[in-house]
């Protein structure tokens, strides 16, 4: 049945208790997690298949990097349009439409006879995935607030972290058993199943009396207000910097662990999967710790833990060995698992009347820093291990500085 969430009209920036009337069920959690994770799944699942794809399409493996960069660019920019439009027309048209477009892109990739067509399919995938990613956060904000919002986002972020962790192993198995094209069939089928789940279990979460104008001037004003509002921009910048470091790891790990340390592709997949447990445990603790110590304090602790991992990477950057390198990355991921859901909840919670726009701008910032993080690994004239260490240490230090105003604001309220 269509379990639509309905609430009375409220003024801008309202966070009253009446705002959280939905119940976090297992079905809703799976749905939100699936919407948020599709983009990461579609990207990381194809990485182990690059060699087979290059042979089949008669291109150099490095040329396949265009399938990643084109996806990130469209994913980042597309969110800026989807969010405000979803604040005007509702969530449902863009959730269903995004999933249909995403599935169509997967089919095009599966039958692509050339790299050009494959890139086109990836662009279409990104157009669909940007809608699902934005609206996973926006729907969570529609339905929940306070500690429940933090808990919901923590569980969703766990799923989003699990997708890049487990998907390389899944991609390896699919490629060996059925060929690389089966990967794209799999993600297309997943999108169709999620669309049916959404239609049958949740439906529209933004009632008409809470929708906003979609005029270009209104959209521009919304983004301008968000960018200048310290309640949004400081936690959003913090989360985006840490996410950039995370994607930098995805980009650097094959060169560091496989080329530099001689770890096999299977070993790399196992390590990626093991990191999910770290993010899972950290994310589960985020909501509980936030209820006890306050979200800003726990968020700052997460940033500092991530920065400690960056410092450890920096100290061994010249000649990293597998165990210390993996331990430092694990420490960084533990901190990321705390700050990611907490920072996201802090950034979105004051803006229930424009959750789509806020989620879109946050997603744009995250994917921009993700593109910068992956690009820096290859662009810097130093080895990948050194480049990654500098990036994580510098990124987390700036993130900590950006989160200080959030912490001080809460301390001021308590005082």
pTM value is 0.74
| Exposure on the CB side of residue 313, measured as CA atoms within 13 A | 31
Contact residues for 123 (Cβ-Cβ < 8 A; gap 6+): 70, 71, 74, 105
Q: Which sequence spans correspond to the domains of the chain?
A: 25-202+216-414
- Phi, psi at 355, each rounded to 5°: -60, -35
DSSP 79-91: HHHHHHHHHHH-S
Residue 322, exposed/middle/buried by CB under 10 A (0-12, 13-18, 19+)? Answer: middle
Q: Are 307 and 335 in contact (CB under 8 A)?
A: yes
Taking only the tens of pLDDT, the chain with its 415 residues reads 344 444 433 434 433 333 444 566 767 778 888 888 888 788 778 877 877 888 899 887 667 778 877 888 888 888 888 878 888 888 888 999 999 999 999 999 999 999 999 999 999 999 998 888 888 878 887 777 777 777 777 777 776 666 666 777 788 888 889 999 999 999 999 999 999 988 887 777 777 777 766 677 777 888 899 999 999 999 999 999 998 888 787 767 777 777 778 777 677 777 777 777 787 788 778 878 888 888 889 999 999 999 999 999 999 876 788 889 889 999 999 999 889 888 988 888 888 777 778 888 888 898 888 878 777 766 677 777 888 888 899 999 999 999 999 988 765 554 3
Residues 136, 32: contact at Cβ < 8 Å?
yes
Dig out the tokens for 102 from the structure.
């995403």
Give the Cα separation of 145 and 134 in Å (integer): 17
How far is Cα 30 from Cα 34, in angstroms, rounded to an integer? 6
Neighbours of 210 (CB within 10 A): 20
H-state helical runs in 263-354: 265-293, 295-315, 322-348
**CATH class given for the domain over 25-202+216-414:** mainly alpha
CA angle, 108 then 180 then 165, to 5°: 100
Which DSSP helix (H) or strand (E) runs through 222? helix 216-228
Would you state the structure tokens that stand for residue 342, as one six-digit string? Answer: 């907490």
Helix (H, G, I), strand (E, B) or coil at 415: coil
Any idea which residue has 């859901």 for tokens?
341
């Amino acid at each position: 049945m269509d379990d639509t969430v309905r609430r009375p009209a409220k003024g801008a920036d309202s966070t009253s208790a009446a705002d959280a009337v939905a119940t976090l069920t297992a079905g809703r959690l799976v749905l939100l997690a699936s919407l948020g994770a599709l983009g990461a799944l579609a990207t990381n699942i194809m990485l182990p298949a690059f060699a087979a794809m290059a042979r089949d399409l008669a291109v150099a493996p490095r040329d396949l990097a265009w399938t990643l960069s084109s996806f990130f660019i469209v994913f980042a920019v597309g969110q800026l349009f989807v969010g405000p439009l979803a604040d005007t027309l509702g969530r449902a048209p863009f959730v269903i439409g995004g999933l249909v477009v995403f599935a169509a892109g997967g089919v095009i990739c599966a039958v692509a006879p050339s790299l050009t067509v494959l890139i086109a399919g990836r662009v279409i995938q990104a157009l669909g995935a940007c809608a699902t990613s934005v609206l996973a956060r926006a729907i969570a904000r529609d339905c929940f607030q306070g500690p429940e919002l933090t808990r919901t986002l923590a569980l969703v972020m766990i799923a989003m972290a699990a997708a890049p962790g487990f998907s390389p192993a899944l991609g390896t198995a699919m490629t060996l058993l059925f060929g690389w094209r089966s990967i794209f069939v799999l993600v297309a089928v997943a999108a169709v199943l999620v669309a049916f789940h959404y239609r049958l279990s949740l439906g529209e979460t933004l009632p008409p009396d809470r929708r906003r104008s979609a005029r270009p001037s209104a959209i521009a004003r919304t983004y301008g207000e968000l960018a200048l509002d310290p309640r949004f921009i400081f936690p959003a910048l913090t989360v985006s910097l840490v996410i950039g470091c995370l994607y930098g790891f995805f980009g650097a790990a094959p060169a560091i662990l496989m080329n530099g340390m001689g770890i096999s592709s299977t070993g790399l997949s196992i390590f990626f999967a093991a990191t999910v447990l770290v993010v899972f445990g950290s994310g589960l603790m985020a909501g509980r710790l936030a209820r006890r110590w306050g979200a800003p304090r726990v968020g700052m602790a997460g940033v500092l833990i991530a920065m400690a991992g960056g410092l450890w990477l920096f100290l061994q950057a010249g000649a990293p060995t597998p165990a210390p390198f993996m331990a430092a990355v694990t420490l960084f991921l533990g901190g990321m698992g705390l700050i990611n859901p907490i920072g996201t909840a802090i950034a979105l919670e004051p803006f229930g009347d424009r959750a789509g726009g806020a989620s879109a701008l946050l997603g744009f910032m995250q994917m921009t820093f993700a593109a910068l993080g992956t690009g820096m690994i290859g662009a810097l004239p130093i080895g990948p291990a050194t480049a990654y260490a500098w990036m994580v240490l510098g990124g987390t230090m700036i993130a900590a500085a950006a989160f200080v105003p959030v912490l001080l604001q809460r301390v001021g309220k308590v005082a």
